[in-house]
Structure 1
Amino acid sequence: MLNGKKILLGVTGGIAAFKAASLCSMLVKQGAEVRVIMTESATKFISELTLQALSKNAVYTDTFDEKKPEAIAHIELADWADLVLVAPITANMIGKMAVGIGDDMLSTTLLAVTAPIMLAPAMNVHMYTHPAVSRNMAELRSRGVHMIEPGVGLLACGYTGKGRMEEPEAIVEEVNQFFKRQSKRADLPLAGKKVVVTAGGTIERIDPVRYITNDSSGKMGFAVAKAAQELGADVTLVVARTQVAPPLNINTVYVESAMEMYEAVANVWQDTDILVKAAAVADYRPKSPAQHKIKKSGDALQLELVKNIDILQTLGQQKTSQFLIGFAAETENLEQYAMDKLQRKNCDLLIANDVTQAGAGFGIDTNIVNIYDAQGLVKSLPMMTKEEMGLHIMELAAERLAGVGK
């Protein structure tokens, strides 16, 4: 799997940096071409010469030490890599990545990378569980960065707990598995396609502590996103309020209101191949949200609502080559309302369910749907898990995108 693969190995300053020598050697022995970037603090634990000898390539440590006059090193390295592996990565570098700081050779290169990134954290157990570090790692995971979980054991500081960098053999196996999955994805029906999925229920603020929302849990949208990824797509999730956490290792954009959701989708619309609008978007919003908490007074409160942007209809009018899938949660006249929505909003497929049916409502793990296109009912899917349903929907979308079964 690693023969001919170009791996950019980043090494940061922790006691586990000594493991980078074994890691580099193993990658090279399996046929990978390895180039190394070390932080200044990493050079206090292991020498540049060691990694240069093992990688058989010059080691980079200084942003301003340009080895080729005709190229900018951190851009060239970022463009060159098939995979970026930072092992070990410290809490400091994780924090830099999370907020976008580029103040040395490695952090600057990481800002320019478009290849997949894999991180192997190593630090004290209390540092690893610190809320700021946990938040930063969650942010990186939401962008699709792959984390190689540290092991549990005796740490250099004398503590016993989670924080030991995973052993080089296990990391090399993770890298092999990554390229194995990638090679399989190249043959998958959505390989090379960009899929955007919206999920959850939007929030429209009444005042700083109250809002209008709905019962959407996000589970159906998350299932569709996971299915699209399994079929090889490059997936972006646009997520509003949900009852469960989004899937790991999928690029996730968090929003609150209908307008924020529209803007997030509009930002990637031109490059989108398939848009799945599984989110439940508020039709109306308060005309004038209060700047401060509304105090209780009198027996009634009047709230004036105005119409929100209709994201599905707006994008349906704008679409050129995009394949557009809408959702409709109904309580009566399912086919009539579904076909009306499909036509008005220029959808290619419309997934409709009757939320009054047992097993088809919000917040549960199953669903029952009918799928419609411009000619009418395409198929009815009986009760099944949302994960199974997501796969059915995306397989159908892949067929339609390829011109099969239209």
Structure 2
Amino acid sequence: MKIIITAGGTSEKIDDVRTITNSSTGRLGYAIGRVFAEKYGDEIEKIYYLHGMRAAYVKHPKVYPIMIEGVADLQEQLTKLLTNEKIDVVVHAMAVSDYIINEVTTLDRIRGVENSECKADLSGNKISSDIEDLVIHMKRSPKVISIIKKLSPSTVLVGFKLLSGVSHEELIDVGCRLMDKNDCDFVLANDLREIGRDFHRGYLIHKDRTYDIMENNEQIADMIAVRIMEGR
């Protein structure tokens, strides 16, 4: 059995020293990886652990860590693995950037009032810190989750949906829509209001719209692993 787990967050480069990222710690992905490695290691050949640059990875003989930087990097690594190997399960817990850098410019350039004497230098590997009005233009990133079942239809896919400050009904409804759109087998839906240092309420939605309720990362990780392993 071969599994891919994605964890942590992606980072999009502005220049060689600056990035735009998100606040994902990768703790939930780490908990999921640990459960599969420690409880089901005898049944698993490999766990490919695709993790963000600031996220820790599970150290275990069955775990193969692959560091991910941006969305393009994640898409490339997933495509390579799903194309070249038979992957039984993908647990896509990574917080993927919704937007990527399209262009870096200035307000004066946008307004067309920049004069030649004060022209901002955006060239080179590091944007000058002397620029007063830097503008970062972003565009929507590709939805990486959408390629997984297209590349490997038989792979069991667990998607994740994080919202903030919505009703319970909306949270479950949005999770179900993610499931339908990307042919997920399960979706873990959670609300930022129900996540803290010592608690994390999650709802693992099934194909029939029923769901399991968990109260922390360890319970979530255990439930995901149990549902996947019992369905084999």
Q: TM-score, normalization: structure 1?
A: 0.47
Work out whether 1:260 is the aligned partner of 2:73. yes
Shift of 1:208: 1.2
Work out whether 1:387 is the aligned partner of 2:218. yes
- Counterpart mapping for 1:290-309 below 5 A: 291-296=124-129, 299-309=132-142
Q: Which residue of 2 is the match for residue 287 of structure 1?
A: 102
Shift of 1:299: 4.9
Identity %: 23
Give the total of aligned pairs: 202
Q: Which residue of 2 is the match for residue 396 of structure 1?
A: 227
Q: Which residue of 1 is the match for residue 120 of structure 2?
A: none
Q: Given residue 230 of structure 2, which amino acid in structure 1 is its aligned partner?
A: E
Give the stretch that moved more between structures: 324-333 or 194-203: 324-333
Whether the 8 Å contact between 1:317 and 1:346 is mirrored in structure 2 is no
Whether the 8 Å contact between 2:79 and 2:151 is mirrored in structure 1 is no
Whole-angstrom CA distance in 1 between matches of 2:124 and 2:148:
31
Shift of 1:259: 1.1
Whole-angstrom CA distance in 1 between matches of 2:198 and 2:73:
27
Whole-angstrom CA distance in 2 between matches of 1:316 and 1:283:
20
Q: Of the candidates 339, 342, 345, which is equivalent to residue 176 of structure 2?
A: 339
Q: Which residue of 2 is the match for residue 240 of structure 1?
A: 52
Q: Which residue of 1 is the match for residue 111 of structure 2?
A: none
Q: Which residue of 2 is the match for residue 352 of structure 1?
A: 189
Q: Which residue of 1 is the match for residue 2 of structure 2?
A: 194
Structure 1 residues 317 and 365: alpha-carbon distance in aligned structure 2, compared to 1, 3 A threshold: farther
User: What CA deviation, in whole Å up to 9, does each residue of 1:134-191 have, x standing for no partner?
Assistant: xxxxxxxxxxxxxxxxxxxxxxxxxxxxxxxxxxxxxxxxxxxxxxxxxxxxxxxxxx
Q: Which residue of 1 is the match for residue 116 of structure 2?
A: none
* Pairwise CA RMSD: 1.9
Shift of 1:366: 3.6
Q: Which residue of 2 is the match for residue 211 of structure 1?
A: 19
- Counterpart mapping for 1:101-250 below 5 A: 193-229=1-37, 230-232=39-41, 233=44, 234-243=46-55, 245-249=56-60, 250=63
Shift of 1:257: 0.8
Runs of 4 or more, structure 1, over 6 Å off, are none
Q: Which residue of 1 is the match for residue 86 of structure 2?
A: 271
Whole-angstrom CA distance in 1 between matches of 2:31 and 2:124:
37
Whole-angstrom CA distance in 1 between matches of 2:14 and 2:91:
28
Whole-angstrom CA distance in 2 between matches of 1:211 and 1:365:
29
Work out whether 1:325 is the aligned partner of 2:140. no
Q: Which residue of 2 is the match for residue 99 of structure 1?
A: none
Q: Given residue 40 of structure 2, which amino acid in structure 1 is its aligned partner?
A: L
Structure 1 residues 227 and 301: alpha-carbon distance in aligned structure 2, compared to 1, 3 A threshold: same
Shift of 1:365: 5.1
Whole-angstrom CA distance in 2 between matches of 1:291 and 1:199:
32
User: What CA deviation, in whole Å up to 9, does each residue of 1:369-405 have, x standing for no partner?
Assistant: 0111232132122x23x233212111111122x2xxx
Partner secondary structure for residue 370 of structure 1: strand
Q: Given residue 231 of structure 1, which amino acid in structure 2 is its aligned partner?
A: Y
Whole-angstrom CA distance in 1 between matches of 2:71 and 2:30:
18
Shift of 1:350: 0.3
Whole-angstrom CA distance in 2 between matches of 1:252 and 1:337:
31
Shift of 1:344: 1.2
Shift of 1:335: 1.3
Whole-angstrom CA distance in 1 between matches of 2:32 and 2:158:
11
Partner secondary structure for residue 57 of structure 2: coil
Q: Which residue of 2 is the match for residue 94 of structure 1?
A: none
**Which structure: larger Rg?**
1
* Structure 1: gaps of 5 or more residues: 1-192
Whole-angstrom CA distance in 2 between matches of 1:195 and 1:228:
9
Shift of 1:285: 0.7
Whole-angstrom CA distance in 1 between matches of 2:88 and 2:124:
40
Whether the 8 Å contact between 1:195 and 1:228 is mirrored in structure 2 is no
